[in-house]
Amino acid sequence: MLLPGLIIGLTVHEASHALTAKLLGDWTSYKMGRVSLNPFRHLSLLGTAALFILYFGWGKPVIVNLYNFKRPKLYYFISSIAGPVSNFLLAFAALGILYLNPGKYITIVSLSIFIINCVLAVLNLVPVPPLDGSKIWPCLIPGLRPTVSAKWSLFWIVILVIAFSTHTIGKIISFALNLLVPLLPIESLETLKELFY
Amino acid sequence: MAAFFKKIAGAVVRALARLVGIGALLDTTALWAIVFKLTKAGADGANLLQIIYLKYGLNEARNAAQSIITATKSAQPAALMASLEFREGNIEDAQQWVKLTSEKNTEDIESLLIIKLYLSEFFAEYDKKSIIEQILAINYLPMEVTRIALVGKAFAALEDKDLQLAEQTAERILSVEEQAAALIVKAALAIEKKNLQEAEKLLIKAQRKLTPGLFYPLAAGALLCVGHNEMAMEYLCRAGKLDDRLIRSKTQLGDLARSQEFNDYCSRRNKPST
């Protein structure tokens, strides 16, 4: 049920990073074919395999050359936050469709898009590499450089695994969903209950 | 239509090769050869050569390279061969691969710029400053390439005594990342301004980020650019055994490394000289 939302969410998320970077002067990801809504350009092999095993996946990261930005810190912030923002926009577009009271199948797909994109947006704001939050927050803190040292990446992956296994990230996502799900129209909430309970 | 199906088939085999290649336990050379046969894409050719090099060594890669370069319009496989030769210290062979691309391989020419930049330290036919400007004018190269070009620009500005440009370029790098070579340039500038405390701080910071074999020659190069020859000799001496490519390079630092004065200096310090 969540697959369409995940594929659409991941594709739009990564394409938004690439498009924003291109608009701000860095064509690296554009040259790699990432300014595209073709999901195959964005889905990674491992991330897609994980989708079927762990029921969660990830896309290929968008490569950015910060030296191509006139204002590296500000533009890196904008291109990094573009992914989560695009997920919120998609979620709210899906919410709009749900308020139009469409047929059952469109309701299911829209619900999938709404939920997955809310999860993707919130999850990506967590300040742990490789998530977008690790790029966004240093850009907001004066005195910090926008890049995170690569030698710490293994440490952060361990932190991320611990955060997942101790349900810390689950709690953050649940908190956000508890705020967002009440926005759904009553009919959609009924469909959601039918699908999950 | 046939080209389209070949592209699709190539993508499928590529995905399979990546899947099989996870953990580098199985040999994926045959799969990558099929991918390249189907797509004739420069990136696939370069990938195949890289795998052959890692699995079977440079000679096998050389044997395969000729036919791959002939089969594609892209300069990427030749650029990869040139960088492999350069890494192995075969400067003349690296140049030969670059020359081989000049006529037919008209796509992805920018992939040759970084190796041309390296070769500019050995052959007068490559103009370092113009290559740096070419790299910096392209807005889709990997960050490592732009970084190397910016470091080259900062060092060239130091050499030209254009201290303002050197400072601006180093600051541009440091606004993005705490990069060791940029810190060294800033240290050389601090020495020029007689701010020795600041220079020492910057050098210590840079030293933490690099191995001695990289740090000391870089620091020596920067010091030489600003005219502190004795201090440069001291740093170069501390590097221990020097990279053969540095000794052969036609740069100020290469000249110093080959000089009798430097050898005498190192002997006096009872350190191994070149």
Domain spans of chain B, in order of start: 1-68+76-91, 127-209, 212-269
Helix (H, G, I), strand (E, B) or coil at B82: helix
Q: Complex ipTM, two decimals? A: 0.86
The proportion of chain B whose per-residue pLDDT surpasses 70, expressed as a percent, equals 97
Cβ within 8 Å, pair B142-A65: yes
**Which residues in chain A are contacts of B141 at CB distance < 8 A?**
28, 65
- CATH fold, domain B127-209, is 1.25.40
Whose tokens are 């939050």? That residue is A133
What angle (nearest 5°) sits at the alpha carbon of residue B160, between those of residues B154 and B165? 40
pLDDT per residue as tens digits for the range B208-247? 999 999 999 999 999 999 999 999 999 999 988 899 999 9
Cβ within 8 Å, pair B175-A72: yes
**pLDDT at residue A196 in the model:** 64
Residue B274 has pLDDT above 60, yes or no: no
**Which residues in chain B are contacts of A147 at CB distance < 8 A?**
176-177
- Nearest CA of chain B to the CA of A114: how many Å? 30
Of A31, A63, A145, which has the smallest distance from its Cβ to B176's Cβ?
A: A145
Choose between B199 and A48: higher pLDDT.
Answer: B199
* pLDDT tens-digit profile, chain A (197 residues): 678 888 899 999 999 999 999 999 999 999 999 999 999 899 887 777 777 776 666 788 999 999 999 999 999 999 999 999 999 999 999 999 999 988 888 988 898 899 889 989 998 998 888 889 989 988 988 888 888 666 666 777 788 778 878 888 888 888 888 888 888 887 777 777 776 65
What residues of chain A have any CB closer than 8 angstroms to a CB in chain B?
A: 25-28, 30-31, 40, 45-46, 63-68, 72-73, 145-147
Q: Which of A90, A117, A113 is nearest to A176 (CA)?
A: A117
Residue B116: band (very low, low, confident or very high) from pLDDT cuts 50, 70, 90:
very high
**pLDDT at residue A174 in the model:** 85
Over residues B89-110, mean pLDDT:
87
Q: How many CB atoms lie within 10 A of CB B176?
A: 22
Cβ within 8 Å, pair A72-B176: yes
Based on the residue annotation, tell me whether A14 is a catalytic residue of this protein: yes
As a whole number of angstroms, the distance between CA A180 and CA A118 comes to 8
Helix (H, G, I), strand (E, B) or coil at A171: helix
As a whole number of angstroms, the distance between CA A157 and CA A130 comes to 8
**pLDDT at residue A146 in the model:** 85
Give the nearest chain B residue to A31 (CA atoms): B140
**pLDDT at residue A121 in the model:** 93
**Which residues in chain B are contacts of A65 at CB distance < 8 A?**
139-143, 146
Of A28, A40, A67, which has the smallest distance from its Cβ to B176's Cβ?
A: A67
**pLDDT at residue A75 in the model:** 97
**pLDDT at residue B273 in the model:** 52
Residue of A14, A187, A190, A194 marked active site: A14
Of A27, A63, A66, which has the smallest distance from its Cβ to B176's Cβ?
A: A66
Please name the residues in contact with B146: beta carbons below 8 A apart, sequence gap of 6 or more: A65, A67, A68, B135, B136
